Structure 1
Amino acid sequence: MYVAVKGGEKAIDAAHSWLAEERRGDTAIPELSVAQIREQMTLAVNRVMAEGSLYDPDLAALAIKQARGDLIEAIFLIRAYRTTLPRFGYTLPIETERMDCIRRISATFKDAPGGQVLGPTFDYTHRLLDFKLAAEGEVPDAPTRDTTPGPVPHITEFLNKEGLIQTEADSDQTPPDLTREPLELPAARALRLQSLTRGDEGFVLGMAYSTQRGYARNHAFVGELRIGTCAVEMEIPELGFAIDIGEVELTECETVNQFKGSKVEPPQFTRGYGLVFGQTERKAISMALVDRALRWKELGEDFEGAPAQDEEFVLYHADNIQATGFLEHIKLPHYVDFQSELELVRKMRAEATTALREAAECA
């Protein structure tokens, strides 16, 4: 018979100590500092901030260190910490056309107004291991940076001069806050975008890839991908006007998608949209593709049964913290549940054996 393990508290304390020892590793090697993680593992830090819904590079780096590099665990730590913070107000909408871009590219216009800036990217590397990085004391030469100062208009707006792309309707309504209210379906586009930007990068990437393979017929062009910093403004009631309280680094992607038209709309292009904390361009592009796939009803398109078109499937499975919690709970003690299943299977086997024996005797 299975019985409950005794001495659990002592075992848990020992497991915590062992975990701390494993996290530290060989003490003969200098400890990795939070500042080193923040400055040299920025893409991991950016992902933790984006999916943790908290823009703080220092806290994200600390979470990565505590989680031994497990980014989902780090995201969990950040979300848990976020719940302890007071909410003292809301900022004004960020104006991304005023972004100071370090990277700005378009796959639709070669001579994009404002110019294209390749910026820091893996796109043009050879994907060969650089063993020079294994040498201690390696200090790279500082290259001359070519940046595009804001404001820089969005490239997709140039299609609007001919009316070739759907105009996005402005809304004065305050969007719901997914960090304070549970997700309910059907969800407005603003809520879907919140869910996608917090969603697991791998899952959103898989959904986006499925659209490119034909599940939703969502062939897209990257109208513009831009990365840079945007000012964050907040209205102060005591002052009666808005002030700049800081800046955040963002990645924004707008895709241009084909649209054959409907009974009320002429043939034109439509958009997919992605916006994520930090330099997280793979996530932003994926988000834009999935956003466009989820707009099928709004645009009067047919539902083809594609996973990326299924709002319930995408939004309820995108959150890696919810998925992790439900997945990992099955490794916790389920002794009583298993005992009931065990007794049920024994009873069913006994009944089946008896039935077979009686059938054999009758024969």
Structure 2
Amino acid sequence: MGQLRPPSGRRGTRVAAWGVGLRRRSCDRRAKELTVKISLGYIGAGEWGVKKHIAAIEYVRDVLGDTNVELTALCERDPARAKALAKKYHIKKLYHDLDEFARDPDINCFSVTVTPSSLVSVLPALARRNLPIFCEKPLGTSYAEAERFAAIVEACNVVGFNRRFYPIVTRFKEIIASLPPPVFVDASFFRHGRTDSLDHASDPTRREPPFVIGTAIHMINLLEYAIGPIRDVDVTELETGWFCRLQYERGRSARPVPGALTILPCCGKHTESIEYHTADVSVGLLCSLYGDLDYPGKIVLTKQGREQQIIDGSIDSPRIVNEGFVDEYREFFSLVRSGGTSRSDFRSAVNSMRIAEKIEKW
């Protein structure tokens, strides 16, 4: 196929004119897209949902100017809480019954931020409407559930693995895409004082998933997004954590890329990091944005033992932007209006759950 050329015209002006035309058509398409109303049905408005998800929806509408976004309906079991949230966020309709909420004809998409164990009843009820669904991670409590949910939700969908939407991660992914394949990838996911797995060991009746499936799956999913699908994992249990030897897919004819992931739920740090090593260049990503120590993230490029470049995250952007929540919803609303596939859809979440379950079977 020949090289793509701009339309003919007066010499010296045609490239600029062609570029302007492309930008104009893109802007026109975006403007037309924004005229489509988003009538969102929201379920799961707990503290986290309000602080991050409803706040992100409001940011898209009020700060970014997408005025055709509306929180149309809320499903909440606590009547007093539902009434207070409806008043604060100008939500027109309140539901306490899931089936009635799912059937509301004014809703054209759903956002789900319930607990993972509640998805087994919520997602099938909503999937029957065949409307776009945003769902907070993880996609259920097991690999089997994740596979089932990915199969029954046929409309466009997004899973809230917000690391995929960090601006600093987008930059990191662009940088490593310009490099040769890695010889090794090292990653860490550290927290302090997280006793989820110990709590499960002492109380096997707990319904919510333990630490790796519920929280550290963020890093597993981010590695699959940045590096590639994880083929297999070999796990060594530590006194308070896991050391994981990973193999990343590189196509049928290529040897898998080796890597390591250390998960510590109880240590002295709160950090998330990836180091991408080629034969002569290393790129480090520091991306734990919920604590002040690493905020707003950093990328360090090193070559032959010397730092070549340091790229800091934006200190001027609001946290809710740096933490990816705003771009999650911007992408979701774009899918509602125009269709397509998310960078973080249900299907992309399934293998991450398989790997998480192999690390911490419960």
**TM-score past 0.5 threshold:** no
Higher-Rg member (1/2) = 1
TM-score, normalising length: structure 2: 0.22
More strand by share: 2
Question: Whose relative contact order is higher, 1 or 2, with alpha carbons under 8 Å and at least 6 apart?
Answer: 2
TM-score, normalising length: structure 1: 0.22
